Structure 1
Amino acid sequence: MATLDSLVCVKDFEERAAGILEKHPLDYYKSGAGHENSLQGARDAYLRVQLKPRVLRDVSKCCLTSTVLGKSTPMPFGVAPAALQRMAHPEGEIANARAAEKLGSIFVLSTLSTTSLEDVAAAAPTARKWFQLYIYKDREVTRQLVKRAANAGFEALVLTVDAPILGIRYADARNKFSLPPQFEVANFKGITRSDMTSSGEGSGVNEYVASLLDSSLSWKDIAWLKSITSLPIILKGILTVEDALLAVEHGAAGIVVSSHGARQIDTVPSPLEVLPAIVENLKGTNCEVYIDGGVSTGTDIFKAIALGAKMVFVKRPAIWGLACGGQEGVERVLHILKRELEVTMVLTGTTSIDAVTREYVRIPPDWISSKL
């Protein structure tokens, strides 16, 4: 097998991972909702944005440093939450956290992780760590997870708001996907059911999560969450200006413009195409805007920042890196994205993240933002 050095872009890692992972885990990681129109659309959206490079500028120095939630970060992208990572590699979530730690970026841990939040925190003590959360039917489960995350040093809570139920993912249904028995949903051990086994009727993930998630969740529950923690709350899964404004109204420190990896409902717009309008309407607020979904190159990261994202999160690229080489594989993926972002900045005539604005991109006319 070729070394990691022979993999020079995220696509190389994706193709290598497809040959490493068994069918059920591979389908779980790569699939989207329905017939995957939105999954493809999230990627294609980045191709619809063209760069507008400026020339004859002094680009001898290039700085990727940004500020997120009041703290400096050496690069404006991080690792998004992804469930069940030990299916991809024995190191699982720890490898991703340590890779982010090494590059100084932000790592977001999924509630549905195969490594406990305490073990991840101990393995990557200096990493900037956020904890992705659901509000469960049993509020005491949520309360315990919030308390544990705060005690373990996680900086923020990333509340997923687009999953009152899980979407229909045909690949998982066909596979009757179950979490392999050697793994468990580690954060729930000793609290509630921690296995994820299909009944044989469909996806074990959907069955498991359906037993826990609260479909009656509403905006009033944001106030409840704020009442039990002092951690900043970021709402993940916003795709409309209306909901972005409601997030501000209910005190969110940030939002992630996201379609849940296009895994919830098909034929929704791509996060990138709704980003400009959301950013425009949140100007003057204290709510930061982040994005995930469809990102596979450093140039994609540049485009998202140019359209107003404060931070860009990548999920599948980190999983492909993990599958190909554990922590070393993730580090290489992050280094590749960082280098591609640097090159894009230099060749467009920008030398700092603050300088990356809409001036440097051309977007489709129907993306032009407007006030509500």
Structure 2
Amino acid sequence: MSRIVGVHAVLPPHRYEQRDIADALVAMGAAGGQGRGVLDRFHAASTVKCRYLALPLEQYAALDGFGAANAAYVDAATRLSEEALRGALARADLAADDVELVVSTSVTGLAVPSVEARLAARCGLSPHVRRVPIFGLGCVAGAAGLARVHDYLEGHPAGVAVLLCVELCSLTVRPGEPSAAGMVASALFGDGAAAVVAVGRDHPAARTAPPGQGPWTVATRSRLYPDTEGLLGWETTDRGFRIVLGPDLPDTVLRHVGPEARDFLAGHDLKPVDVGGWICHPGGPKMLEAVRAGLDLPARALEPSWRSLAKVGNLSSASVLHILRDILDGPLPLAGMPGLMVSMGPGFSSELVLLTW
């Protein structure tokens, strides 16, 4: 097993109510010929109340192509990632040069050198640190990244590894090219970053974390579902990324993710009713309802995910780490409880991470 010993989640400084974002999008042509009412219905159905954005709202209209948007991504992603990394290390009471591996995930911009490389010298990471930047996993990457950190620490039981997720979804929105998928995305996605510090079972920090605070990662499972590649992802165009959101996504989640999670839990002599902490990616109201129905969960089980969706929107790969941080900082008594991280992404794929406190 490996143990999570520090989680830190950060948000950009620019906070806006959903109505303010809708106003700005309409001014930039996001509603097209369909009218303001259609956009408003998407925003109301999202259940998102407010979001935090990488830039002030008035600056988005000036982003005239992928180059400008990606330059803004590199700048903001580096700043937010540094804050997340430093915060997670402080919570873990570990030094940056203790870190042997950094797994970084993002799907909302491109940085070469990668973000963790840009942070290495300024944060004090070892010049020999192993780096695994991951692009293309989308919303599933937070759970998948934690699973890959766990894989490394299983083979390096005295080691220290970091997962760093940063997503600036607002910089991918294309308001001048309205579509149903684009309007859904404009209603759901927000910006944020998070970092997790984990240690192997033989590291001293694995034994000193207070009960209920540092969950152990017990096992993980990755799954690709056949004939679903077209449901979720990006189309890459001359102007950048265009989102693909298939209408069958909730039904696909309902058919596959619940049975997959049940089978995974059964392999550890557990049932959904035994899980005390659900860390489910808040892909949107229909996705959360599909997970709940597929596992026959009480409504309160996914309350942390619903709260996160309302407060900050869907942060893609960073969302599950924000929810994990919220649970760790909250009043829920966790000692002795199993937890399950559930996330879905392009492929179509799911990632499951079994935790125990």
TM-score, scaled to structure 2: 0.30
TM-score normalized by the length of structure 1: 0.29
